[in-house]
Amino acid sequence: MDALMTQLEALLADNSIFTLQTLSYYTEGLTVTVQLVFLSLLIGLVLAVPLAIGRSSKRGWIKWPIFAYTYVFRGTPLLIQLYLIYYGVVFVDGIQETWLWVILEDPFMPALIAFTLNTAAYTTEIFRGAIKSTPKGEIEAARAYGMSTNLMLRRVVLPSAFRRALPAYGNEVIFMLHASAIASVVTIMDLTGAARFVYARFYAPFEAFLFVAAIYLCLTFAILYFFRYLEKKLLAHLQPMS
């Protein structure tokens, strides 16, 4: 590791912008971005499954509130949602004295909440579409076997719905990664925040932003490959024989 660092230092010796110092901003930014995106996607996914089932329900009192939620969060820009959750809550009188402030004080949590609620809304709609397009025959067959609704959901509807939702969900993951670039407006030093810092410090927009764009590209490639692998594995039965 030390040898690597000295080598890196030698490599950067005559570079005025990309010193070890600025590179450390980028690595910290990478960590924050990955944490933020991974956590919001994970929590969003956990929330989205029951919400999608509820959204496909025939009962109005379950279906409509969930529809209202997805409509609001898909119908407004993520930036506005982030502003509301970070700056807006400040105007609730006395919030600094409540336990909520412990969560909302640090910029990371408001950003995580905004990103999670946003991605959960989109994922809910993706899953709902997949659940809705379950072939009628499969449901009738499950009923004919005397399966309860729960068992049918668990064994028939959800497994095939997840498979169908996979390509669309992969897109949502990539969108979420790119949407996380707005985190720096609430002072979070994510990848974009690091790039903006380097830009402002050295007045070097091309270097700062091209470098960060390359990092985002690498992350996107990793996500693409992961989903391609999943699709190959889970959708193998849909592939042509040879």
Partner 1 sequence: MCTFKLEIDNEKILTTSLLGLAIAATSAQARDYDEIRIGVDVPYEPMEYRTPDGELTGFDIDLGNALCAEIGIDCEWVVQGWDGIIPGLLSRKYDAIMSSMTINEQRREQVLFSEPYFQPPSAWFAPEGSELTDTTEASLDGLTIGVQRGTLQDNYVTDMFGDVADVNRYSTADDMVLDMEAQRLDIVFLDYPVGQSTLLQSDNRAYKVVGEMVTEPKEYFGDGFGIAFRQRDEALAEQFNEALATLQEDGTYDEIYNRYFDAK
Q: What is the DSSP letter of 154?
A: I
- Nearest CB to partner 1, comparing residues 202 and 227: 202
End-to-end, the C-alpha distance of the chain in Å comes to 46
Helix (H, G, I), strand (E, B) or coil at 11: helix
Nearer to partner 1, 47 or 204 (CB): 204
* Residue in this structure with the two tokens 């049918």, named with its chain if needed: 152
Per-residue burial over 97-112, b = 16 or more CB atoms within 10 Å of its CB, e = otherwise = eeeeeeebeebbebbb
Give min distance, CB of 202 to partner 1, in A.
10
SS3 203: coil
Nearest distance in Å: CB 211, partner 1 = 17
Q: How far is the CB of 72 from partner 1 (least distance, A)?
A: 24
> Least CB distance from residue 133 to partner 1, whole Å?
44
Shortest gap between Cβ of 90 and partner 1 (angstroms)?
A: 4
Q: Which residues of this protein are in contact with partner 1, per CB under 8 A?
A: 87, 90, 96, 105, 107, 185, 187, 193, 196-197, 199-201
**Residue 167 token pair:** 């390509």
Nearer to partner 1, 199 or 227 (CB): 199
Closer residue to partner 1 (CB): 83 or 175: 83
- Please answer whether residues 134 and 160 qualify as being in contact, where contact means their C-beta atoms are separated by less than 8 angstroms: yes
- The single-letter DSSP state of residue 189 is -
Kindly tell me which of 96 and 133 has the beta carbon lying closer to partner 1.
96
- We find the least distance from the C-beta atom of residue 186 to partner 1, in angstroms, to be 9
Considering the complex, state which of residue 125 and residue 190 has its C-beta at the smaller distance from partner 1: 190
CA 231/CA 167 separation, integer angstroms: 8
Half-sphere exposure (Cβ direction) of 221: Cα atoms closer than 13 Å: 6
